[in-house]
Amino acid sequence: MGDDTEQKNAQTDYACAGDRHYEDASFLHGDGRLLNADHLFGLAVECLMKALLLRFGGSDGVSMRGRGGSDSDRLWWDDPNASNPNKKRQPLGHINEIRDALPLLLSGRPGPDLQEALTRVSDDFEEWRVDDRYADGTHLAQPLLSRRQEAAALAHELHLHVQFTGKLS
């Protein structure tokens, strides 16, 4: 375990975290540890989508700057649907909370594959909650767990495509 200095110097790297969570989730899934795999698939998708939003959503106000323009260790965006103009700048939280920002990735980009991946991620993780890590898991049905694993694989493939080509579509 590192000392406090190492913790303070940690940089937010959504792409790296997304890869790590995806690999761990895949391992757990293959080992039959489905509930923990589901949790990590959710975190993986969240991080991978945040990495894509950060890379491709700058013109739409996605950045690591919070309200007032201060640097942040969280991702923020200008929510066009915010009813209060003073609260337009919103943090992007967990995957179920960033669904409204995902269409920014489609802005001006053709491609049914991209649309399908984002729709699957959005739909399959709509009810995902980070607090499920405290639950007994009886509320999660096997078909939903399978769909989430497939959606996470789509998100990871999209991330890898961007890593290799530099393009989202």
Q: Which tens digit of pLDDT belongs to each residue from 11-64?
A: 899 999 999 999 999 999 999 999 999 999 999 999 999 999 999 998 889 999
Report how far apart, in Å, the C-alpha atoms of 37 and of each of 70, 132, 144 are: 35, 12, 12
Mapped onto helix, strand or coil, the DSSP state of residue 7 is helix
pLDDT at residue 86 tops 80: no
Two structure tokens written together for 37: 């795999």
* Residue 75, pLDDT score: 95
Residue 126: alpha-carbon gap to chain centroid: 12
Q: Predicted confidence band at 83 (pLDDT cuts at 50, 70, 90)? A: confident
Residues 6+ apart with CB under 8 A from 31: none
* Residue 110, pLDDT score: 64
Q: Cα–Cα–Cα angle for 113, 91, 26, nearest 5°?
A: 45
Q: Predicted confidence band at 3 (pLDDT cuts at 50, 70, 90)? A: low
Rg (CA), the chain: 16
Q: Which domains are assigned to the chain? A: 12-57+94-165 (1.20.120)
